[in-house]
Structure 1
Amino acid sequence: MELEEMQTVWSQMSGQLEQQKKLTDKIIIEMTQQKFKNRFSTLSFYEVLGAFICFAAAVVIVLNLDKMNTWYLMGCSILSIIFFLVLPIISLRSLYGMKHLNLTTNNYKETLVEFTKKKKRMLLIQRSGAALSALLMWLVVPVFMMAFNNKDFFQTEKSTGLLIFYAATTIGIIIFARWGYGCYKSITARAEADLKELEA
């Protein structure tokens, strides 16, 4: 085989190897993209379920607004409605942005910067939601008590058992919110590890 023929064959083989590498890289990125999306699918399910519950609670409050006969019960109702409508929407939007982070359009560094920004935003929203959930419980209790029992929480005599129940419920909500936040942190950490595998 002459030198010229060898160079042609070598050039063709190099081109094929380069094409193979590009195809392999594309497949790896697409697999990572799917793996990345799947990481957030479970969270999406629970967030959507939670959003439906919040929206239903907001509807119940709106339908019972006429029973809120004092300024403080009306205030609790309005704040509860705002929380029940705004928090799930903000949370779902941040999760949607994270889940649909496109790994194929940007280079690795840009993707990591965008991921870090979205991760910080999502975790901040979850921390805020966890803190507000205990406050929300104390806003909702008087509203639902008036809506379903026609009793003013602030003017009824409270037994020690009832106060212990509310305190225990508040602690339970805080523990549950912290656990949920821990799940978010864990999943985002695994998603970040998936992204870092691309660099290697």
Structure 2
Amino acid sequence: MELEEIMTVWKQMSHQLEKQEKLTKEIILQMTQQRYSTIFSKVFTIESMAAIISYVIAFVLIFNLYKLDTWYLMTCGILTLVALFTLPLLVLRSLGRIRDFDIGNRNYKETLIEYIKLKKKLLLLQQFISYTSFVLMFTSLAAISKIISGKDFFLMEKAGWLYALIVIVLVFLFFFVRWGYKGYLKITASAEKVLLELEEGEET
């Protein structure tokens, strides 16, 4: 085989190897994107169901808003409505952005920086909701109590068991929001691990 033929065959092989390497990287990137998105898909479904429940409660509250016959009960009702309508939307919007984040649209460093921004926004939102849930518990309790029983929660005589129940609910709520926030920390850490694996694949 002459030198020119050898060079031609070598170029063809190099070109085929480059195409194969490019195709392999694209496949790895697609698989990584799928793994990454799947991490957030389950929690997005759960939050969507929670949003539906929130909207149902909100509409029930709207139709009974007229029963809140004092300014402070009306304030509790309106605050509860605002929370029930806006918080689920904010969570789904933030989750949707981080779930649908295109990891192959930029280089690795830019991808990681953008992901960290989205992660911080999501975790900050969860912290805000954690604190807000304690306030929402009292506003919703006052509004629902008036709608169901017709009694003003702030003026009615409260038995000892009711105080005990409120304490139990507060303790449960504390551990629940703590568990939920830890879950978000775990999920975002898993997604970040997937991105770090992508960097290792590029280095090899």
Give the TM-score, by structure 2 length.
0.96
Q: CA deviation at 1:41?
A: 1.1
Q: Which amino acid aligns with 1:3?
A: L
Instruction: Give RMSD over aligned pairs.
Output: 0.8
Q: Deviations over 1:33-83 (max 9, x none)?
A: 000111011101110011111111111111111100101100000000011
Unaligned 5+ residue runs, structure 2?
none
Residue of structure 2 equivalent to 1:137 = 137
Contact 1:131 1:174 in 2 (8 A): no
Residue of structure 1 equivalent to 2:26 = 26
Residue of structure 1 equivalent to 2:188 = 188
Unaligned 5+ residue runs, structure 1?
none
CA distance in 1, matches of 2:131, 2:18: 53
Where do 1:2-151 residues align within 5 Å? 2-151=2-151
Q: Which amino acid aligns with 1:35?
A: R
Residue of structure 1 equivalent to 2:172 = 172
How many matched pairs?
200
Q: CA deviation at 1:130?
A: 1.1
CA distance in 2, matches of 1:171, 1:78: 25
Contact 1:133 1:174 in 2 (8 A): no
CA distance in 2, matches of 1:132, 1:164: 22
Greater than 6 Å deviation, 4+ residue runs: none
The percent of aligned pairs where both chains have the same amino acid is 43
Q: Which amino acid aligns with 2:57?
A: A
SS at match of 2:113: helix
Q: CA deviation at 1:146?
A: 0.7
